[in-house]
Amino acid sequence: MARRKIGKSVKRQLLGVPLDCILPPARTEVPIEEGQVKELAESIKEEGLLVPLPVRQEQDDPPQYRLISGGLRLAALRYLRATDQEWFGTHFEQIKVAVDVRPVDIAHAVLQLDRLGMKQIDIAGELDVTQSYVSQLLKIYRDGIEPLRAAFEAGRIKVEDAVGIARNPSSCQRALLDALGADPA
């Protein structure tokens, strides 16, 4: 039972949220042209929002979600609300979003399931990730020095960079962290 609860806690969630709760991406992907926005807005009006917006939750109260990608879709939804409030209010009271899970949250679940004695292949199936990803996360925590784990936990270093550093002797890991500018010290 504990395993199922852990696995469920790190699965991507589909939610409906008000448009005002969705913040634009931290970095703009590409410049958005007005013609593209209008064209996509018409398509959304005809066919609906076919793919949920991928977001990461930024705060709980009030709920705020940062768009990961899909700035054009967000711009089109805002355009629809501004140009046709009645239609928008009828069709998009809530916007479908897919709340992404942070790698560190998946790592914590992997560690918990590993402590319960589960095999990596079973952990992967439980969390809906690859066995390779489970192995990489375990590598960070088993072979990485404390500053490396702290940098990963704080989101200052990507999984693949943390794994690459953890593959080196502990005597070299701090220098590699320094080179990436991720050492918290």
pLDDT digits (tens, 9 = 90+) for 18-42: 999 999 887 666 778 899 999 999 9
- Do 87 and 138 belong together in one domain? no
Cα–Cα dist 39/76, whole Å: 8
For residues 101 and 74, the model is more confident at 74
Q: Is the same domain home to 114 and 136?
A: yes
Answer whether 55's CB lies under 8 Å from 14's CB: no
pLDDT score recorded for residue 12: 67
The 10 Å Cβ neighbour count of residue 53 is 22
80 pLDDT exceeds 70?
Answer: yes
pLDDT band at 1, cuts 50/70/90? very low
The answer on 72 and 29 residing in a single domain is: yes
- 45-49 average pLDDT score: 90
Residue 36 lies in a domain: yes
80 and 141 part of one domain:
no
The per-residue pLDDT for range 112-157, each reduced to its tens digit, is: 999 999 999 999 888 878 999 999 999 999 999 999 999 998 888 8
pLDDT, residue 93, reads 83
Number of domains comprising the chain: 2
In a domain, 58, yes or no: yes
- Say yes or no: 22 and 95 in one domain: yes
Percent of the chain with pLDDT strictly greater than 70: 89
Q: Which domain holds residue 158?
A: 103-180
The answer to whether residue 124 is domain-embedded is: yes
Sheet holding 53-59, edge to edge: 13-17, 95-99, 53-59, 64-67, 22-23
Instruction: Say if 51 falls within a structural domain.
Output: yes
